[in-house]
Structure 1
Amino acid sequence: MAKLTKITTQKKHKNRYNIFLDKGNGEEYGFSVDEDVLVKYRLQKNMELDDALINALIQTDTLHKSYTLAINYLSYRMRSEKEIRDYLKDKETDPEHIEEIVSRLNKERLLDDQEFANSLVRTRIMTSSKGPLLLKKELLEKGVSAVKADEAITHYSFDKQYDKALKFAEKKLKNDGRKSYRQQVQNVQQTLMQKGFQGDVIQEVLANLPEDEDEDTEWEAVIYQGEKLLRKFKSKAEGYELKQKVKSGLYRKGFTFDLIDRFIDEYVKE
């Protein structure tokens, strides 16, 4: 049996207290506890503590510190249950304590995977160019169940997807002016798929893009791409062979035969 001889406040952490004990060999430092633990167990000078109670105090304080870590981790943004579990595991928290902390956080409504998923989707809609399929993938990676992820994705309506995808497509068309219009449209389609937009949204966006390319812009693109091909093949081929290589290259880049023939006539000399 040990006697509690002194309680002092830690200098750097005013809500933590050092507990000093006398186990028969004079006063010595025993352990430290948080203020909540101190109050809960009504620790005071001259109190008798057996080994079982000392171990209980230490375990309770350890649990409290881990819970406080979790609360601090949650203070920056909402977290999924998996994120909390992984974080506490990285902090070497006792597995039993992890279960107890997660259970408590759920009861206190500080952990809610459905609300977390809903919030993430709403935030991504406002701040990113990701489509719903990528957002679902992100949610699954964060440990949200497929059912809850699907529920969250319902907040990403067709109209919201269409508006975001169309703005992205129009911006990309402006930035890809040195490519053929056909290739630009193909790139838009491919990128929207990579960003996780659904097929019906992509088709609607493509259907509402300008139907005809600007002739001057398309001609400038032919010149730009054609000259690149000439520089590439000039040292390897000449005459008919050079023309065919350039023609083939321009065709693969999506240009029409009329524009290709015009470029060959004006820029590829015999």
Structure 2
Amino acid sequence: MAKITRITTQKRNKNRYNIFLDRGQGEAYGFSVGEDILVKFQLQKSMELEETSINALVQKDTIHKTYTLAINYLSYRMRSEKEIRDYLLKKEADEAHIEEIINRLKKEKLLNDQEFAISLVRTRMQTSSKGPLLVKKELIEKGVQSQLAEEALDYFSFDKQVEKALKFAKKKLNSDRKKSHRQQIQNVQQTLMQKGFQTDVIKEVIGQLPEEEQEEHSEWEAIVYQGEKLLRKYERKAEGFELKQKVKTGLYRKGFPFDLIDQFIDENIDNK
């Protein structure tokens, strides 16, 4: 049997207390507990404790500290069960304690993968350019079951996907104005696929972009820009027919139509 001889507040953490015990050999440090454990079990000077009780108090305090870690981690944003588990393992928490804490968090409705998935989908819709495939991948990586991820993606409707993808596509077109219209469209398609948008959404977006006929002026500006770059590249190494073929081939590979290529060649090489 051990008797509590003194209880002191820790210098670095005012919410934790050091418990000093006398086991018949004089006072010595016994263990430490948080304020909640101290109050709950009414620990006070002169109280006698059996060793089994001391071990139980230390374990309860350890669980409480781990629970506090989890609560603090949750305070920044919602977390998936896997994120909580991984975080506590990183903090070297006992696996049995982790299970207990996860069950407690679920009962307290602080941990719910379905609600987490819905929240993440809505956040990504508002703050990122990710399509549903990338969002689902992110959910799976965070430990959300595939079915729950699919259900959460119902909130990312087709119309909202098109709205987001179209906004990005127009921005992309604007940044690629010095490329051919065909190359611009190909770049948009490729980028939207990389961002996780599906074929039906991409097709709808492409259908809402300006037609090539409406882009004739910018298309000519683009071919002049790209053609002059090719001329500077090849005119020191080739001339005449060879120069024309190199420039023609380069412009064709960049997606420009034959009529504009011929017009550029006529105005910039044949008439020199």
Question: What TM-score do you get using the length of structure 1 for normalisation?
Answer: 0.96
Partner of 1:176: 176
CA distance in 2 between counterparts of 1:200 and 1:214 reads 24
Partner of 1:187: 187
Partner of 1:68: 68
* Letter aligned with residue 190 of structure 1: Q
Partner of 2:248: 247
* Letter aligned with residue 215 of structure 1: E
CA distance in 2 between counterparts of 1:190 and 1:209 reads 15
Describe the SS at the equivalent of 1:93: coil
CA distance in 1 between counterparts of 2:53 and 2:172 reads 67
CA distance in 2 between counterparts of 1:56 and 1:241 reads 89
Describe the SS at the equivalent of 1:17: strand
Root mean square deviation of aligned Cα: 1.4
Can you list the C-alpha shifts for 1:186-216, whole angstroms capped at 9, x where unaligned?
1111111111112111111111111124222
Partner of 1:260: 261
Partner of 1:234: 235
- Counting aligned pairs with the same residue, the percent is 72
Q: Which sections of structure 1, spanning at least 5 residues, go unmatched?
A: none
Name which of structure 1's ranges 239-248 and 57-66 shifts more when overlaid on structure 2: 239-248
Describe the SS at the equivalent of 1:83: helix
Which runs of structure 1 show a deviation greater than 4 angstroms over 4 or more consecutive aligned residues? none
CA distance in 2 between counterparts of 1:27 and 1:268 reads 100
Partner of 2:40: 40
CA-CA distance at 1:167 after TM superposition: 1.2
CA distance in 2 between counterparts of 1:236 and 1:247 reads 15
Name which of structure 1's ranges 111-120 and 260-269 shifts more when overlaid on structure 2: 260-269
Describe the SS at the equivalent of 2:12: coil
Can you list the C-alpha shifts for 1:126-147, whole angstroms capped at 9, x where unaligned?
1111111111011011110100
Q: How many residues align?
A: 270
* Letter aligned with residue 169 of structure 1: A
CA-CA distance at 1:265 after TM superposition: 1.8
Name which of structure 1's ranges 122-131 and 146-155 shifts more when overlaid on structure 2: 122-131
Within-5 A mapping of 1:59-208: 59-208=59-208
Describe the SS at the equivalent of 2:259: helix
Aligned 8 A contact 1:183 1:254 in 2: yes
Describe the SS at the equivalent of 2:144: coil
CA distance in 1 between counterparts of 2:75 and 2:106 reads 15
Within-5 A mapping of 1:4-43: 4-43=4-43
